[in-house]
Amino acid sequence: MNTNHPGPELDEVLLRLVETGEVRDQTGLLQGLRRKGFEISQPTLSRHLRRLNIIKRRGRYIVGPDNPFRSPPCAILPSPPNLMVLKTLPARAQLLAAMIDQAQLEELAGTMAGDDTVLVAVKDGFTLETAQAALEALIQPAAG
């Protein structure tokens, strides 16, 4: 078991567990970490979740938008009637698309990612403006 210096290695394993979308509580996270060789306490887990900005939304853990390792900067360009184009840094589009898909925003049908561009489709019944506001709330940290 890796209990001496879990730092960055633990963080990466924890992020991977969360990205699977299958873990719904801290007990599940602790069990997943044990399977990967990390034996940590619940308070230690809570500290790591807070530091990595891993939040619980709609009954499951996701990587929050303020995580500097998981939320690349981007510009949102509406493309009516039901598409948005997101421009980000090279090699970051797939990460951004995965974060958006993982959040399961009700306004969005899905994403398609290239190297520095993500195409986002808006579900029928939602306006482009509503979907853009939801997307901005997810990926762009609040000012202040």
Q: What confidence tens digit (pLDDT) does each residue in 51-70 have?
A: 888 888 878 888 776 655 55
Kindly state the average pLDDT of the residues 116-124.
95
pLDDT band at residue 79, thresholds of 50, 70 and 90?
A: very high
- pTM for this model (two decimals): 0.53
Residue 113 burial class via C-beta count within 10 angstroms: exposed 0-12, middle 13-18, buried 19 and up? buried
Q: Which CATH number fits domain 74-139: 1.10.260.40, 3.40.50.1820, 3.40.50.720, 3.30.1360.40?
A: 3.30.1360.40
Q: Any idea where the domains of the chain sit in the sequence?
A: 7-63, 74-139
Give the DSSP H/E element, type plus range, for residue 128. helix 128-139
Kindly state the average pLDDT of the residues 114-141.
90
Q: What pLDDT shows up at residue 142?
A: 36
Residue 101, token pair as written in the block: 């898909």
Q: Does domain 7-63 have CATH number 3.40.50.1450?
A: no
| Residue 83: Cβ within 10 Å count | 15
pLDDT band at residue 41, thresholds of 50, 70 and 90?
A: very high
**What does pLDDT average to over the chain?**
83
Q: Report the C-alpha dihedral over residues 73, 109, 55, 3, rounded to 10 degrees.
A: -90
Q: What pLDDT shows up at residue 140?
A: 65
